[in-house]
Amino acid sequence: MTGSIALVLLVLLPLVRGQVPHWGPCPEPITQADFSLKQFAGRWFEIAKLPAQFEKGRCIETNFTVKPDNSVRVVSSEILRGELRKIEGFGVIEDPRNPAKLGITFSYALPYTPYWILSTDYVNTAVVYSCTDILRLFHVEFAWVLSRIRSPPPGTLEKADEVFAKNSIDVTQMTNTRQQGCDKA
């Protein structure tokens, strides 16, 4: 038993590194009511995030395209050390009763990572949260504030913070994503 826990932790270590693991199971946040994947589709710019090991660049954006079977093509790009990098992922609605709960993976070898839309008006901003339980002992989380434009109006982050706070999600480690000098490449 102890041996298998150690093995699981070893496998998950790369995922955990770079995040602050929190004790206890994942919270159960309220997600966007009557979520429409079609309206959510399209281009979103990352304005702020809880630090994630796999996202280090600037000008980070994601383009969601809904396919006829309601799965989602996810193309994320960033500029890292002067180079434009793109990764393509695949998303699904994990719970048909709650379409705001997506799961996204960037490799067929990896399980879906939760990608939950806590709040969005579709045309300005979206507040997204991801949490993975590890043996219900602790959890690892990600969070993003997305905007349809690179420079959203003042107050955008404060409004997103309220959404996180309402759900007891600690975003004091959140960092802003640079979205300057992106269009001239």
Ligand X SMILES: *[C@@H]1O[C@H](CO)[C@@H](O)[C@H](O)[C@H]1NC(C)=O
Phi-psi region of 42 (alpha: psi -120 to 50; beta: other; left: phi over 0): left
Give the Cα separation of 183 and 185 in Å (integer). 6
Nearest distance from residue 64's CB to ligand X, in Å?
A: 8
Nearer to ligand X, 19 or 63 (CB): 63
Residue nearest to ligand X (CB): 63
What are phi and psi for residue 65, nearest 5 degrees?
A: -120, 120
C-beta neighbour count of 67 within 10 angstroms = 10
Nearest distance from residue 75's CB to ligand X, in Å?
A: 6
Nearer to ligand X, 76 or 119 (CB): 76
Nearest distance from residue 28's CB to ligand X, in Å?
A: 32
| Residue ranges in contact with ligand X by CB under 6 A | 43, 63, 65
Nearer to ligand X, 43 or 85 (CB): 43
Nearest distance from residue 29's CB to ligand X, in Å?
A: 28
Write the CA distances from 34 to 126, 159, 168, integer angstroms.
14, 20, 22
